[in-house]
Amino acid sequence: MHCIKKISNDLTWVGANDRRLAMFEGVYSVPDGVSYNSYLLTDEKTVLFDTVDKAVRERFLENIDEALKGRDLDYLIVQHMEPDHSATIQDIIKLYPNVRIICNEKTQQFINQFHDSIPENRVKTVNENDTLNTGKHLLHFVMAPMVHWPEVMVTYDSTDKILFSADGFGCFGALNGAIFADEVDFEKDYMDEARRYYANIVGKYGIQVDSLLSKASALAVEMICPLHGFVWRKNLNNIVSKYALWSSYEPEDRGVMIAYASVYGHTENAAEILACSLRNKGIKTQMFDVSCTPASEIVSAAFRWSHLVFASTTYNAGIFVTMEALISDLVSHNIQNRTAAVIENGSWAPESGKLIRSHLEKCKNMRFIENTVSIKSSLKKNQIEELESMAKAIASDFNLPSGISAQKNQVQEPVSAGVDKNSMFKLSYGLFALSAKDNEKDNVCIINTVTQITDSPLRISIAVNKANYTHEMIIKTGEFNVSVFTESAPFSAFERFGFHSGRDTDKFKDCSYNARTSNGIRYVSEHTNAIISAKVIQTLDYGSHTLFIAEVTQAFSVSNEASATYQYYFDHIKPKPQAAKTNKKGFVCKICGYVHEGDQLPADFVCPLCKHGAADFEPL
């Protein structure tokens, strides 16, 4: 029986979940399963975005049949040819003999490698910025090579502002009835799996991911539909900012990941003593036994934390087996911009530390704590100071505040007198659209201070900057509306209402709504949960701002969504500043992602990985 989910008026999720899969790609454990997402657009033409793995073939075909409701399928857009997204292409061709496949030339090559050859007249190849008009919807094709296969492209629906992102922005885990990221506590329950997915599947190709993010930033994206995991329709910056950080290989959090390989517990003992010392200094730590923890989890943690410690016994005159595999994995996933430290153990010839360091030195911008701790069999009392010295060297990078215990967040000593204006940001604020009307002119601005003063009579206060045009209107008319923003409000709403002056801009222009309260003043009806109308009864001059005391004349709720706070805006709505770009010059292979650094690429250059020539390279 079919199981489909509506994404928008014209778009339906027709994918399926696989909870029986033990190892994704035969490498990565997926204890919570995985989703294979496919989307059907029903416009004047019908369009299917990718297919699914053969394991969920039957459910997938039932879903398409139900969503089409008797219509034929006009197009199949193939964005990524990995078999978990393309295994059922032949089924689609057989069931819908009139369907045309939309793909790029590299994808067409892969289709013919994985499947029986498809007649040329059934395939339409597209290039960068080509479009497909399906009726109401206009689809734009954007090439995204090596995110994470060479043929990958993404599709942008400029009508509904949806980005179909292929494997980008994906996540491990089956969809347990929910389809949208805002239907779950993504940060708490899924962000670790999103990071693990990125680090292990896409992590090697940071330059290519950054290129795709640059292309996407030029598009007005309001929804992201990936091939694994949840659809993003709210707070897109939550996941986009993570990708910007991960693709730059900058640490996500300040703290120390400690991975250890220990046969009889002595190396583990040293690692734990180090972890305790770091915690005593207020530094976050996360420990992994590399013999018990899947490598994908440790690779993910390495992408998260700023400092990495590797503690390993020596084994067969080399690195312990599981630690050697982990180090190799990290190097191949292009980990960089980290500080690393090493603890080695060996009963007669400790060599693992030197070997670990030699591997990690292949990575870019790796800084090493010089005082390696070397143990022979077991840790001795006189070596505790060596571990403490390592902990102090790591802690010196953290600039922990003096006089404050990071463990208890309590002041231990009197704090010197003074005014730290940053302390004011600890106060709780909201975000509101303040609207007013002067004759036929409507205007609105953003404020963060609205307070209920009394219940009877019902009165509120608002603080408004005197430079705002809305302030002038309220001084003149004595009336205003407050619209309370919710957590679903996109950054574009704050750009529209807060980043321009109403003196020379109609902020309500092209809004899809024209709602007014009984006082005749417009209000913001989208991404808000309450509207309050008020009449000014007193004004108080406080320098840069006027405090208006007003009596509430009308108030009503428009939704049950949570109100956005000032802090929530900075944490989840406002785009995070991207890591500073380097001025590195070079060329990247569009086929395999190999990067050749330098000002020029020789005309006869051949990629050492995929053997393609200079014509298949593009500037960084």
- Render pLDDT for 541-580 as a digit per residue (tens, 0 to 9): 999 999 999 999 999 999 998 999 988 888 888 876 655 5
Contact 314, 425 (CB under 8 A): no
What 3-state class would DSSP assign to 115?
A: coil
Contact 134, 41 (CB under 8 A): yes
For residue 266, the model assigns a pLDDT of 96
Task: Report how far residue 90's alpha carbon sits from residue 86's, in angstroms, rounded to the nearest whole number.
Answer: 9
| Side-chain half-sphere exposure of 262, counting CA atoms within 13 A | 23
Residue 171's nearest CA partner among 36, 303, 299, 293 is 36
For residue 12, the model assigns a pLDDT of 98
Q: Does residue 409 come out as left (phi exceeding 0), alpha (psi in the -120 to 50 range) or beta?
A: left
Contact 404, 411 (CB under 8 A): yes
Average pLDDT over every residue of 523-536: 94
- Is residue 607 over pLDDT 90? no
Q: How confident is the model at residue 421 (pLDDT cuts 50, 70, 90)?
A: low
Average pLDDT over every residue of 466-473: 94
Average pLDDT over every residue of 138-157: 95
DSSP state of 420: -
Q: What number of residues does the chain have?
A: 620
Segment among 26-35, 36-45, 408-417 with least mean pLDDT: 408-417
Average pLDDT over every residue of 271-290: 96
- Concatenating the DSSP letter of every residue in 338-380 gives EEEEEEEE-SS---HHHHHHHHHTTSTTEEE-S--EEESSS--
- Is residue 613 over pLDDT 90? no
- Is residue 165 over pLDDT 80? yes
Considering the entire predicted model, what is its pTM?
0.81
Task: Report how far residue 277's alpha carbon sits from residue 270's, in angstroms, rounded to the nearest whole number.
Answer: 11
